[in-house]
């Protein structure tokens, strides 16, 4: 997984937690809708991409977000 993404997720969760590809952003980290929106904004800024509303709805894990970023930055 992208180390920069891992740091963004850790910042969003407000703690020093272990992030794996299977980490569920809402259930495992307790991120609420506003936290997820802030994370998406941070990801967009950091990677120079736009995350569609459809993608936000379908991404649940750190691995899915990582894969989306890789796809969008090809």
**pTM, to two decimals:** 0.94
- What gap in Å lies between CA 73 and CA 50, rounded to an integer? 10
Structural fold of domain 3-15+22-72? 1.10.1200
Residue-range domain boundaries for the chain? 3-15+22-72
pLDDT at 43: 98
**Shortest CA distance to 44 belongs to which of 5, 11, 2?**
5
Q: Strand, helix or coil at 17? A: coil
Report pLDDT digits (tens) over 3-62: 999 999 999 999 889 999 999 999 999 999 999 999 999 999 999 999 999 999 999 999
């Amino acid at each position: 997984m992208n180390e920069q993404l891992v740091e963004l997720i850790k910042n969003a969760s407000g703690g020093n937690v272990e992030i794996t590809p299977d980490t569920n952003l809402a259930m495992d980290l307790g991120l609420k809708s506003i936290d997820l929106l802030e994370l998406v904004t941070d990801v967009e800024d950091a990677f120079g991409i736009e995350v569609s509303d459809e993608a936000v709805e379908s991404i649940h894990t750190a691995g899915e977000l990582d894969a989306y970023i890789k796809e969008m930055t090809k």
